[in-house]
Amino acid sequence: MTKFSGKKAIVLGGTSGIGLATTEMLRDGGAEVIAGSRRECGIDGVECVTIDVLDREALSALFERNQGFDILVNAATGGPRAIGPFLDMELDGFQNSFAKLWGYVNSVRLGVPHMAATGAVVLYSGYPARKYRPGTLAIGTVGGSVEAFIRLAANEIAPVRINGVCPGLIDTPMSPLEGEERKAYYESGTEGHLIPRAGTAAECASAAIFLLGNEFVTGTIVDVDGGAIVT
């Protein structure tokens, strides 16, 4: 008998990086896991579904098929994000960055009515929400919206619980860089942090596992960022 035995989990964006690590930890914890994203995937011991979190009809059908499920995690980035100086930014790019928020909103709005009353939700925000640096205005605004959404939704969806994990700079396939360029990116990006290295997907996922398993926690955000926000 393991921690999540008998639980059914749906992990959107669960096929890469932080979402994949969450999928694997839930599976290893005994849950029956469905991982969803736009790609076709094959993950040992996990049911993969091809789904776009912006497709509400498909999401509704997925949740209806899994009536009474226990755990909802959404780690889907949603689509391309706008990074760089705000005054040079294409406004369509800024607006499109909110695909992450809409994917999250869709999944909570459409998923929670199909969850068990003892269910729990985890969403991933991102440290630009509270670490104010030039060039991160769009993603920071999205992250801030995700965190406000979590706190406000907690009041409305109880007894289902909802919490967030706020990743700092984490080494995942989100960055397409390779070799020395990749190493330099993570070194310069974490210089001055209290723990000056990129985090791992597993370090983020373990915070989600805590939030999903602790039945006395709701409406909160756990920072997993090597101390980035407090520097």
Ligand X SMILES: NC(=O)c1ccc[n+]([C@@H]2O[C@H](COP(=O)([O-])OP(=O)(O)OC[C@H]3O[C@@H](n4cnc5c(N)ncnc54)[C@H](OP(=O)(O)O)[C@@H]3O)[C@@H](O)[C@H]2O)c1
| Least Å from the CB of residue 208 to ligand X | 10
Position 111 contacts ligand X (CB under 6 A):
no
CA 45 to chain centre: 21
Of 4, 9, 19, 73, the one binding ligand X (CB under 6 A) is: 19
Inter-residue contact 18 to 124 (CB < 8 Å): yes
d(CA 100, CA 81): 9
Position 79 contacts ligand X (CB under 6 A):
yes
Residue 143 parent element (H or E)? helix 137-157
176-195 binders of ligand X (CB under 6 A): none
Inter-residue contact 226 to 168 (CB < 8 Å): yes
Position 76 contacts ligand X (CB under 6 A):
yes
Inter-residue contact 202 to 18 (CB < 8 Å): no
Inter-residue contact 199 to 227 (CB < 8 Å): no
89 or 102, CB closer to ligand X?
Answer: 102
Position 140 contacts ligand X (CB under 6 A):
no
Position 170 contacts ligand X (CB under 6 A):
yes
Return residues touching ligand X (CB under 6 A). Answer: 12-13, 15-19, 37-39, 51-54, 75-79, 100, 103, 124, 126-127, 167, 169-170, 172-174
